[in-house]
Amino acid sequence: MPHAEMKKHYNIGLFLTAEHSCYNAAFGFANALQSRGHSVIFLVNEGSLFIDYVKDNGFGVIEILPITESVYSVTKQSIVSKFNLWRRLTRHSPSVLLKQQRLVHLIKENNLDIFFIDDVRNDVNLYAVALAKNKIPTALISYTFSSQFSSDYPPIFSSRISSGKGRPNVFYRALYRWLWGWTISTKGRIYSYELVDFLKQSFKKFFDQIRDIGFEQELRQFGWGSAWSEWKRRPLIPQVVFGHHMMDWLAIKSNPARCYFGTSDLWRKKSDFDWSRLDLSKPVIYCNISTTGGFGSDRVSSGNGRKNPGVSLSKRNQMAKRYLEVVLACFSSQQDWQLLLACGSFSEVLVQDQYPSNIHIFERLPQLAVLEKANLAITWGGAGTVRECINSGVPMLVFPAWTDQFGNAARVFSKRTGLRGNIQNVTSSQMTEMVQYVLTDETINTSIKAMREQCSAESDILELVRFVKKHLNFQL
């Protein structure tokens, strides 16, 4: 890594995946960097809804214009095309070259000193080549506990708990290799998808990763390289994880090129919530479903059978609908518990039905504000919710549905910060028993409080400063 000029102020760029969870964590990260006198700017595709979201949070935006067809068609003539599979994988199209040139131009035009790129972006390897070639100080950022292929630990898609201290034995190494092979080549659990959709997405994921091998030679040429990971191949460069180090497996967090910034939520602006409708002398349970964008535009039916005519539910919505019916049945029978339910588009139908006064249904809720007074969170185990619960000291009841939620649930259970259940077959009586257990279990409540006390924003920013100095040679 070349020596960089040490100065008091740096311009830092963040290039993220279009996910609310990723942006929310990144806003806290950016606020922490700005507290040390640096400028942070987000690169966002033109027309994205996240442009206004970034601006509303007080950060600057660089809009990335699309590569137009006219430009592509002119440049296309300069590339010799041959029908050879390996050549097609390793020789990049004109649009790839234009995207690489455009990113480098934007970085230089805006005088960015340090660049952070999301490790699950579909184009991360494409851009990594350009960043390596132009010697731009770069690190990965990840809002999940994703990692690189290894027989020493299970992938984040797996519900397996890591085998513990020391290197696993032959059986576990073989098991982890098999789980990694399954993770690399598929979208995870088939029951989360329609069969045709699962096969299409799995094939696309597999061939996208094979395509990314085409960037390997160039990455190595410039001193980088890549490795298999849960969502795709990832560049082998330093990585900042928006998660708590105490929640990750020992074999993963011992990687010196991995830095944890789990207290990003402590740097975020919090919205208000009106608590006047609730009796805070009774337990408050917050429940959400996974990011609403994962359900598409399907409309849903209520728990009482009211349906929207002419609309069939996707498999994901069927699973979510059943889950909500169980939650509502559980809290309808336990009126000493107060439920705050954030359920996205499901709320449009559910609010038309009559439920006991202890059940409060919303489309969305200010999660950080709600967690400040919640006694328990029932969640699918998204990385953002798990991280925010740890920062707020709220125990969890996790019902994972897809991808990294299974690995997050395994960590919650293993670290004794909550319980995990099966979203496919849980009943209202089982959920009632689990809620009662988490609310009253001394071990779980002691563990989550102890973990909350370990969340130090000051320690995280100092570790980030050390990490960036060591790997990028910049003194933040």
Neighbours of 89 (CB within 10 A): 15
**Which superfamily is assigned to 284-454 in CATH?**
Glycogen Phosphorylase B; (3.40.50.2000)
pLDDT score recorded for residue 195:
86
Of all residues in the chain, the percent with pLDDT exceeding 70 is 88
Most confident stretch, 153-167, 191-205, 235-249: 235-249
What whole-number distance in Å separates Cα of residue 52 and Cα of residue 427? 41
Burial of 271 (0-12, 13-18, 19+ CB in 10 A): exposed
Taking only the tens place, the pLDDT of each residue in 33-86 is 999 999 999 999 988 889 999 999 999 999 998 876 444 343 444 444 444 555
The yes-or-no verdict on residue 4 having pLDDT over 60 is no
pLDDT score recorded for residue 21:
83
pLDDT score recorded for residue 214:
86
pLDDT score recorded for residue 219:
93
Query: What average pLDDT score do residues 200-225 get?
Result: 89
The yes-or-no verdict on residue 229 having pLDDT over 70 is yes
Burial of 82 (0-12, 13-18, 19+ CB in 10 A): exposed
Query: What average pLDDT score do residues 187-202 get?
Result: 86
pLDDT score recorded for residue 198:
87
* Of residues 377, 307, 379, 396, the one with CA closest to residue 346: 307
pLDDT score recorded for residue 85:
52
pLDDT score recorded for residue 160:
95
Question: Which residue bears the tokens 């006390």?
Answer: 453
Taking only the tens place, the pLDDT of each residue in 80-97 is 444 455 555 555 567 888
The yes-or-no verdict on residue 393 having pLDDT over 70 is yes
List Cβ<8 Å contacts ≥24 apart for 297-301: 298/345, 299/345, 299/348, 299/349, 300/345, 300/346, 300/348, 300/349, 301/349
Structure tokens at 247: 């929640």
Query: Residue 476 belongs to what H/E stretch?
Result: none
Query: What average pLDDT score do residues 91-109 get?
Result: 86
The yes-or-no verdict on residue 354 having pLDDT over 90 is no
Burial of 134 (0-12, 13-18, 19+ CB in 10 A): middle
pLDDT score recorded for residue 76:
43
The partner residues of 13 in beta bridges, in order of sequence, read 41, 115
The yes-or-no verdict on residue 302 having pLDDT over 60 is no
pLDDT score recorded for residue 300:
44
Confidence band, pLDDT 50/70/90 cuts, at residue 209: confident
Structure tokens at 331: 């809290």
What whole-number distance in Å separates Cα of residue 232 and Cα of residue 403? 13
- 3-class secondary-structure state, position 4: coil
Which one is predicted more confidently, 324 or 271? Answer: 324
Beta strands in 277-423 (DSSP E): 284-288, 338-342, 359-362, 376-379, 396-398, 418-420
Tell me 148's DSSP state: B
- Domain ranges across the chain: 11-267+456-472, 284-454
What whole-number distance in Å separates Cα of residue 226 and Cα of residue 265? 30
Torsion, CA 69, CA 73, CA 79, CA 80, rounded to 10:
120
Taking only the tens place, the pLDDT of each residue in 282-301 is 999 999 986 544 444 344 44
What whole-number distance in Å separates Cα of residue 121 and Cα of residue 107? 18
Do 284-454 and 11-267+456-472 fall under one CATH topology? yes
Confidence band, pLDDT 50/70/90 cuts, at residue 456: very high
pLDDT score recorded for residue 293:
44
* Separation in Å, CA 250 to CA 147, 158, 259, 332, 414: 12, 16, 13, 41, 12
pLDDT score recorded for residue 249:
96
Query: What average pLDDT score do residues 297-314 get?
Result: 46
Confidence band, pLDDT 50/70/90 cuts, at residue 331: very high
The yes-or-no verdict on residue 375 having pLDDT over 60 is yes
Query: What average pLDDT score do residues 271-288 get?
Result: 93
- 3-class secondary-structure state, position 167: coil
Confidence band, pLDDT 50/70/90 cuts, at residue 159: very high
The partner residues of 240 in beta bridges, in order of sequence, read 141, 259
Amino acid letter, 148: Q
Burial letters 97-118, b for 16+ CB under 10 A, else e: bebbebbbebbeeeebbbbbbb
Confidence band, pLDDT 50/70/90 cuts, at residue 350: confident
Torsion, CA 434, CA 435, CA 438, CA 440, rounded to 10:
-110
Q: What CATH class does 11-267+456-472 carry?
A: alpha beta
pLDDT score recorded for residue 90:
52
Query: What average pLDDT score do residues 357-376 get?
Result: 94
Confidence band, pLDDT 50/70/90 cuts, at residue 7: low
CA dihedral (398, 404, 407, 411) positive or negative: negative
Average pLDDT, the chain: 87
What whole-number distance in Å separates Cα of residue 410 and Cα of residue 414? 6
Q: Which of 36-45, 66-75, 235-244, 358-367 has the lowest mean pLDDT?
A: 66-75
Helical residues (DSSP H) of 292-338, grouped into ranges:
315-332
Of all residues in the chain, the percent with pLDDT exceeding 90 is 68
